């Protein structure tokens, strides 16, 4: 589809939303498959003055209705007749309605010319560390700040072609994989959803210049690659949304033959705040700060900045910070203009940032603070470990102990005792996981990120069994 054709489709949806009564700032939910029409409807709602929100695939009807009611959303656009039927009666209880995607379009066009940068532009639902979804409200100025910063860092142009494999309900799937390439005039190849089994065929068929994913996606792609195969069109890969180990980073770059650019950000700061540049990426770093944003390190729980080279809590300010939360009674992490990330990090002399841990994830074993990331990094150096995740669980004697979950490389077998000895060989005794569980795969959420809460539940069950 050409830009002209896509623009006409956006116009048609904008006219349809205006005809349906969508006014400036109104929330519009999109419970659809990943398609050109769904994306055109998204931008059409925005153009009509509304504030669109992609809903997660396979979300339950109860959760869908709960989210809409919590934020006062009055319209849901859907392309699944069964979902329309199952939601219709529940939505009428608070004056909302569901309409078919193909029924929204109207003849003509409409643009709300009264919109400013401060107006609502996008609603994201994120669970964060609470486990319960909350609405993150972003403005047009937020989206533009993020997009211009990412475009400048990655130097995306009209010659680029993105393979879009991430879900639309996630901030990266919208901000960095729709808004950025569209503003740059690039091409977008929509893949309905990530499947490791056919992703290599997609790389061969569509010849993208870049791909954006999460570590788990790349890890699951590696066994599917033919030895020595290269994709001449690729100029870089992007990775974010979850930590990546040095060994996996190196393995991905060796397999694809292009740099992997690790980035960092939060939905509360639109999407991305730091990123490695294509021409000078540093393994182990989350990159340098994007234009339009400021990042500083503070002593946790204080307003005191740390000295150069020291570890501190990452805080962000600038035009990318959200308008606020909506639909949930939770305290804002933005205090005195700074978004408190809860992540720990440090700067090097060249301005590259490295994540060193997370305040809430620190395992306090007998009074000693242990970083799960440090244990994970060392476990990954074992030749038979493909993936791993370390969490803390309660212990009657020490208060808390590390527990590891590992996935073996294909064809390899792993013994827990051998891995414990491996950790002991490189780290001090306190870092040795109290238990190591070998899984066929780590549990992940809809974004492909490792589900630490699921692992904690598994660890608690396993601990109960061992106690019995």
User: What's the CA gap between 257 and 251, in Å, rounded?
Assistant: 10
Give me the count of residues in the chain.
468
Contact indicator for 45, 92 with CB cutoff of 8 Å: no
User: What is the pLDDT, as a whole number, of residue 128?
Assistant: 52
User: What is the pLDDT, as a whole number, of residue 430?
Assistant: 87
Tokens of 239: 């990775």
With 0-12 / 13-18 / 19 or more C-beta atoms within 10 angstroms meaning exposed / middle / buried, residue 445 is middle
Give this prediction's pTM: 0.81
User: What's the CA gap between 138 and 135, in Å, rounded?
Assistant: 10
User: What is the pLDDT, as a whole number, of residue 398?
Assistant: 83
Q: What is the mean pLDDT of each run of 10 residues along the chain (468 residues)?
A: 97 97 96 96 97 88 90 95 91 92 93 95 77 84 98 96 93 96 97 88 95 86 88 93 81 94 95 94 95 95 91 96 91 94 92 86 77 86 92 84 93 92 88 94 79 88 50
- From residue 70, alpha-carbon distances to 130, 299, 326, 332 in Å are 17, 35, 8, 17
User: What is the pLDDT, as a whole number, of residue 463?
Assistant: 52
User: What is the pLDDT, as a whole number, of residue 467?
Assistant: 41
User: What is the pLDDT, as a whole number, of residue 130?
Assistant: 46
Contact indicator for 167, 56 with CB cutoff of 8 Å: yes
Compute and round to an integer the Cα radius of gyration of the chain: 23
Domains and CATH numbers, the chain: 3-115 (3.40.50.980), 141-292+343-358 (3.40.50.12780), 362-467 (3.30.300.30)
Tokens of 271: 């999407």
pLDDT in tens, 199-233: 889 999 999 999 998 887 888 889 888 888 899 99
User: What's the CA gap between 405 and 389, in Å, rounded?
Assistant: 5
Tokens of 397: 């004697």
């Amino acid at each position: 589809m050409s830009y002209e054709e896509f623009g006409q489709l956006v116009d048609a949806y904008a006219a349809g939303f205006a005809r349906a009564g969508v006014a400036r700032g109104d929330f519009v939910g999109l419970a659809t498959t990943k398609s050109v029409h769904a994306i055109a409807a998204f931008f059409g709602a925005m153009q009509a003055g509304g504030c669109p929100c992609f809903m997660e695939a396979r979300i339950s009807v109860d959760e869908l209705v709960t989210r809409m009611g919590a934020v006062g959303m009055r319209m849901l656009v859907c392309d699944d007749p069964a979902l329309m039927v199952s939601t219709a009666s529940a939505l009428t209880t608070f004056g909302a309605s569901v309409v078919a995607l193909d029924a929204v379009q109207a003849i003509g066009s409409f643009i709300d010319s009264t919109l400013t940068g401060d107006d609502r532009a996008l609603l994201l639902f994120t669970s964060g560390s609470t486990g319960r979804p909350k609405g993150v409200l972003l403005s047009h100025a937020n989206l533009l700040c993020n997009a211009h910063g990412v475009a400048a860092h990655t130097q995306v142009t009209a010659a680029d072609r993105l393979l879009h494999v991430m879900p639309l309900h996630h901030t990266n799937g919208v901000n960095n994989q729709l808004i950025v390439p569209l503003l740059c005039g690039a091409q977008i190849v929509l893949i309905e959803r990530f499947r490791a089994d056919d992703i290599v065929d997609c790389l061969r068929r569509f010849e993208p210049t870049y791909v954006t994913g999460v570590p788990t996606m790349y890890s699951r792609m590696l066994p599917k690659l033919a030895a020595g195969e290269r994709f001449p069109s690729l100029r870089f890969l992007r990775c974010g949304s979850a930590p990546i180990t040095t060994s996996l980073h190196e393995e991905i770059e060796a397999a694809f033959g292009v740099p992997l650019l690790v980035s960092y950000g939060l939905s509360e700061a639109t999407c991305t705040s730091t990123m490695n540049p294509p021409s000078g990426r540093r393994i182990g770093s989350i990159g340098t700060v994007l234009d339009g944003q400021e990042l500083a390190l503070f002593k946790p729980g204080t307003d005191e900045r740390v000295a150069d080279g020291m570890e501190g809590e990452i805080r962000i300010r600038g035009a990318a910070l959200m308008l606020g939360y909506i639909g949930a009674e939770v305290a804002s992490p933005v205090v005195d203009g700074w978004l408190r990330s809860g992540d720990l990090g440090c700067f090097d002399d060249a301005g590259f940032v490295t994540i060193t841990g997370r305040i809430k994830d620190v395992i306090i074993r007998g009074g000693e603070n242990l970083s799960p990331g440090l244990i994970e990094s060392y476990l990954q150096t074992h030749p038979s470990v493909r993936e791993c995740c370390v969490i803390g669980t309660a212990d009657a004697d020490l208060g808390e102990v590390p527990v590891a979950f590992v996935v073996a490389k294909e064809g390899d077998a792993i013994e827990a005792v051998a891995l414990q000895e491996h950790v002991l060989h490189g780290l001090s005794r306190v870092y040795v996981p109290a238990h190591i569980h070998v899984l066929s795969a780590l549990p992940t959420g809809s974004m492909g990120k490792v589900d630490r809460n699921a692992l904690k539940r598994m660890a608690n069950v396993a601990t109960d069994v061992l106690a019995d």
